[in-house]
A and B are shown apart, each in its own frame.
Chain A
Amino acid sequence: MSVREITFAEALREALREEMLRDERVFLLGEDIGLIGGVFKVTQGLYEEFGPERVRDTPISEEAIIGAAIGAAIAGMRPVAEIMYMDFLMCGADELINHLPKIRFMTGGKLKVPAVIRTQCAFYRYAAAQHSQCFPAFLMNTPGLYIEVPSTPYDAKGLLKSAIRDENPDIFIESAALYRVRGPVPTEEYLIPLGVADVKKEGKDVTVFAFSIMVHVALSAAKKLEVEGISVEVIDPRTLNPFDKKTLIESIKKTGRLVIIEPDHKTAGVGAEVTAIVVEEAYDYLKAPVVRLAAEDIPAPFSPKAYNAFLPNEERLINTIKSLVKRSK
């Protein structure tokens, strides 16, 4: 299998293109995704290749975009809708929360809704409180939605292809901060099953649970700690629903310590749920309390100085791990 380095955005584009070539029911809709290839250029070139019917520019109408994706999906199509910023998902919240995850259930399984809603959390864009949000825990708390949170180009491509083929509604959460990150991606086709976490780095002293952009922070911290003799295992869930408890708990059994680093708010965030899972199902293996490093419980500030401190970072992660290992020797 030959492998080359491509960016996260290129990996997503390849996934979309391959699935559109493979299945004529797949089509894209969203704001500015066609003519200009998207404001983040993820869909660049697809409008030229597939035409305006299958790469549909839409008005600024999130309710109608998500609603139309639902309608097309229940009528047998495979829509992939793009919502430019995760914040804007809330503009379409009625369709996103009251309809998308509930239609299969409410109809006693008569309908299925194989729609994908792609969106992105704009980390480090200093875009203030309405263009910076990350609220996957809200979606985890809404039964009926699959949630993908890829961190690498490899995962992004494999997960997006699986999400498009999957029969359930998927919320596919990307990040503009990752679009230019490069990584190895095979030229041959591959899929990543939904609900299988990836051990991004093996280690034996402490488990770091991280998703999306925080995986890179965790890996960088792990590398530095290795030099100091602390062996860090990095677990990337890749999907938050289905959630792979098994891989996480196996890791806790090995390390006995868990640090969560997450880009969403701390209170009732993803880390709160992960902590609860570990306390309920692996308490006996813990050598130390679980520690959460999360975004502050305030809306995202604009000031870069303030924003950079608002999100957890590598330095804090390194210090946290060091003191945790020290106190629980």
Chain B
Amino acid sequence: MDVKSLSKELLLDMYYKMVLIRRFEEKLVELYRIGKIPGIAHGYIGEEAVAVGVCSALRRDDYILSTHRGHGHSLAKGVDPKYLMAELMARKTGVCKGIGGSMHSTEPEVGVIFSSAIVAGSIPIAVGVALAFKMRREDRVVVSFFGDGATNRGTFHEALNLASIWKLPVIFVCENNFYAISSHVSRFVSAKEIVDRAIAYNMPGKVVDGNDVLAVYEVALEAVERARKGGGPTFIEARTYRWLDHGMYYLGKYRPDEEVLAWKQRCPIKLFKERLLREGVVTEQELERIDARVLQEIEEAIKFAEESEETDLEFTKQFVYVR
């Protein structure tokens, strides 16, 4: 994609979001290690270009559904980091009032309609949201994020089939980071390529370099336009890599060092930054200003979270039923 065809504002926003996710996740690891974040959490470091590339192609009123590895999606769609941080720290001010935790970020105002921690669990729900849009003749679209492991669950197949026969405005974004916890895709995906699974559901399937934010943006833009015009679903396989382990703990050695190193050398933020400077569309100073702004925002988010009240049992009870 031609960088010069895009507005500087958009490019800087993409850079900002990617750096925001990276610094947020680095802080997550740090705070988790010292016990300030409880529960379980999954880091998005290394995959930033997918969330940012896709969400940059969406309108504010388009919806996304996210996964257990969802902080990046939420931040890319516009969730304020302070509410997300407060959630991770189990505070009443959190994005889910400290009741959902890391894996259920929801902020319909900015288009994060739901995040499920069950692998593939949010895919049929995304199909239902898209059905609502279609039935109401709204021109909004839905993005369903999931990983490579999700494509082995039955619910993935049921959902894609339904979306296709009903021609719904949904974009399925498979973040293929090659490992379902410890299992490499080559061991457990019978298809030659994950994207081939789209063929079975009669929808276009695209493979994209998930570490190239502009490439992701371009593919997403096309899929969004198609969905918005009533053309139905698209399947995108974005190939990327998670730098951290599955969660916050070391689970053993299942990836060769050279592989990890090679992907880290293709850091999505570094690649984007180099390209922006090489093409001369932004200055080093402009990017540094964003870097500084992000650091400040993260510090403010932590302060906000720590100063917020912890979620207690009685408080949670009011949210089970609508009475």
Name B128's contact: one of A75, A105, A112 (CB within 8 Å). A75
Cα separation A96 to B64 with both chains bound (whole Å): 21
Name A67's contact: one of B107, B124, B161 (CB within 8 Å). B124
Cα separation A240 to B121 with both chains bound (whole Å): 27
Cα separation A105 to B98 with both chains bound (whole Å): 10
Minimum C-beta distance from B116 to chain A (A): 6
Within 8 A of B (CB), among A148-170: 166-168
Mark each residue of chain B from 106 to 133: 1 if its CB lies under 8 Å from any CB of chain A, else 0.
1110000110101001011111111111
Within 8 A of A (CB), among B79-138: 94-100, 104, 106-108, 113-114, 116, 118, 121, 123-133, 135-136
Cα separation A71 to B166 with both chains bound (whole Å): 15
Mark each residue of chain A from 49 to 67: 1 if its CB lies under 8 Å from any CB of chain B, else 0.
0000110001101011011
- Taking CB atoms, residues of chain A closer than 8 Å to B99 are 105-108
Minimum C-beta distance from A245 to chain B (A): 16
| A77-B159 contact, Cβ under 8 Å, with A70-B125, A99-B116, A168-B322 | no
CB-based contact B126/A71 at 8 Å: yes
CB-based contact B322/A167 at 8 Å: yes
Name B316's contact: one of A105, A144, A146, A166 (CB within 8 Å). A105
CB-based contact A67/B159 at 8 Å: yes
Interface size class of A (residues with CB under 8 A): 35 or more
In this complex, what residue of B is CB-closest to A73?
B128
CB-based contact A99/B125 at 8 Å: yes
In this complex, what residue of A is CB-closest to B123?
A67
Within 8 A of B (CB), among A105-133: 105-112
Most buried by A among B95, B128, B155: B128
CB-based contact B96/A107 at 8 Å: yes
- Taking CB atoms, residues of chain A closer than 8 Å to B127 are 64, 67-68, 71
CB-based contact B97/A71 at 8 Å: no
Minimum C-beta distance from B162 to chain A (A): 5
Cα separation A27 to B63 with both chains bound (whole Å): 21
CB-based contact B132/A76 at 8 Å: yes
Minimum C-beta distance from A31 to chain B (A): 12
Indicate if A98 sits at the interface (CB-CB under 8 A). yes
Indicate if A284 sits at the interface (CB-CB under 8 A). no
- Taking CB atoms, residues of chain B closer than 8 Å to A144 are 320-321
Name A112's contact: one of B97, B107, B125, B322 (CB within 8 Å). B322
CB-based contact B132/A94 at 8 Å: no
Minimum C-beta distance from A189 to chain B (A): 23
CB-based contact A143/B320 at 8 Å: yes
Indicate if B35 sits at the interface (CB-CB under 8 A). no
Indicate if A69 sits at the interface (CB-CB under 8 A). yes
Cα separation A68 to B162 with both chains bound (whole Å): 9
Cα separation A76 to B63 with both chains bound (whole Å): 13
CB-based contact B322/A104 at 8 Å: yes
CB-based contact B131/A72 at 8 Å: yes
Minimum C-beta distance from B280 to chain A (A): 43
CB-based contact A108/B124 at 8 Å: no
- Taking CB atoms, residues of chain A closer than 8 Å to B98 are 108
Cα separation A23 to B94 with both chains bound (whole Å): 34
Most buried by B among A54, A64, A74, A166: A64
Contacts between chains A and B (CB distance < 8 A), count = 140
| A95-B124 contact, Cβ under 8 Å, with A63-B155, A72-B131, A109-B319 | yes
CB-based contact B114/A74 at 8 Å: yes
Indicate if B5 sits at the interface (CB-CB under 8 A). no
Cα separation A143 to B320 with both chains bound (whole Å): 8
Indicate if B154 sits at the interface (CB-CB under 8 A). yes
CB-based contact B319/A64 at 8 Å: no
| A110-B161 contact, Cβ under 8 Å, with A70-B125, A75-B128 | no
Indicate if A278 sits at the interface (CB-CB under 8 A). no
CB-based contact B124/A68 at 8 Å: yes
Indicate if A290 sits at the interface (CB-CB under 8 A). no
Within 8 A of A (CB), among B245-295: none
In this complex, what residue of B is CB-closest to A95?
B124
Indicate if A103 sits at the interface (CB-CB under 8 A). yes
Cα separation A144 to B161 with both chains bound (whole Å): 29
Cα separation A68 to B155 with both chains bound (whole Å): 11
In this complex, what residue of B is CB-closest to A107?
B106
- Taking CB atoms, residues of chain A closer than 8 Å to B193 are none
Cα separation A236 to B15 with both chains bound (whole Å): 62
Most buried by B among A63, A75, A76, A105: A75
In this complex, what residue of A is CB-closest to B165?
A59
Minimum C-beta distance from B1 to chain A (A): 31
| A59-B128 contact, Cβ under 8 Å, with A95-B155, A109-B318 | no
| A68-B319 contact, Cβ under 8 Å, with A107-B100, A107-B106, A110-B107 | no
CB-based contact B133/A94 at 8 Å: no
| A67-B322 contact, Cβ under 8 Å, with A27-B135, A53-B135, A103-B114 | no
- Taking CB atoms, residues of chain B closer than 8 Å to A75 are 63, 113, 128-129, 132-133
Minimum C-beta distance from A35 to chain B (A): 14
Cα separation A78 to B126 with both chains bound (whole Å): 16
What are 6 A-B interface contacts by the 8 Å CB criterion?
A71-B128, A95-B155, A106-B100, A108-B97, A108-B100, A111-B106
- B-side residues, CB < 8 A to A, are 63, 94-100, 104, 106-108, 113-114, 116, 118, 121, 123-133, 135-136, 154-155, 158-159, 161-162, 165, 316, 318-322
